[in-house]
Amino acid sequence: MSKLGKTNAEFELIEEGDKILVGLSGGKDSLTLVHALKEQQRRAPFRFDFIAVTVSYGMGENYDKLKAHCQEHGIEYEVYDTNIYDIAEDKIRKNSSFCSFFSRMRRGSLYSAAEKFGCNKVALGHHMDDAAESFFMNFIYNGQLRSLAPKYKADRGVTVIRPLIQMRERQLLAFVQENHIETIGDEACPSMRFDIKMPHARAHTKEMLSKMEKEFPSLFTSLSAAFQNISKDSFFQKEFFNI
């Protein structure tokens, strides 16, 4: 909670009067996020509201356990129904990048849900490991210097925030394990129902970073600092040349 508070203060993520939609997949990251925001409501010197929303892909998912968990802890919860699974069948057959496809469709659905429930912000459960992995994946596979911003304005005008962005993944895993919280894993991903080869870029990147961290224990601390210390004029983009 101390790290969450510092991150929020540094990047002005949650403010007085906000109504926040939290994307709740049922995994360790999003479950940690809703509990952290519930506690932050109690601690913060300002008032804000949030609602946890699960995007249903339209493939007969059962979220009764997730609903019961939210009710038990006094967390407002809704399921937002979509037909993403049906739409995906054509995309998968065309051998598209289904992970990015589902991510875009899910994110668009969260923006639509934010409009429906009157929310001005959408909170996602990305953490520091996600930011590091995204940076190296973009660097290695796409030739881009790009990561995950703590806060940005989406196309539809809603503000997207990542309150856990300075946390380590192992912290979130420890939270759900120590509190005996049941999580939803990859079995809820619609891609599991397609007979396709799974992508390995993220797994390879995660493994690479794990090896690097063993050799350089301060790796993630340095990455976090570097993400806030960007010398644009030292790269090859001529509009940033200091001349």
Q: pLDDT of 10-61, one tens digit each?
A: 999 999 999 999 999 999 999 999 999 999 999 999 999 999 999 998 888 8
Q: Quick one: which of 176, 179, 166 has its CA closest to 10?
A: 166
d(CA 60, CA 63): 10
Domain-wise residue ranges, the chain: 2-198
pLDDT of residue 188: 58
Q: Quick one: which of 113, 147, 123 has its CA closest to 38?
A: 123
Quick one: pLDDT band at residue 93, thresholds 50, 70, 90? low
Q: 2-198, which class in CATH? A: alpha beta
Q: Quick one: which of 80, 90, 84 has its CA closest to 57?
A: 84
Beta bridge partners of 71: none
Beta bridge partners of 54: 79
At 189, which amino acid appears?
Answer: C
Asked if 55 and 82 touch (Cβ cutoff 8 Å), the reply is: yes
Residue 139 has pLDDT above 80, yes or no: yes
Q: What is the pTM of this model?
A: 0.91
What is the number of other CB atoms lying within 10 angstroms of the CB of residue 108? 16
d(CA 189, CA 182): 17
Q: Which helix (H) or strand (E) holds 3?
A: helix 2-11
Q: pLDDT of 214-226, one tens digit each?
A: 999 999 999 999 9
Dihedral over Cα of 136, 172, 1, 19: its sign: positive
- Environment class of 224 (CB within 10 Å of its CB; exposed 0-12, middle 13-18, buried 19+): middle
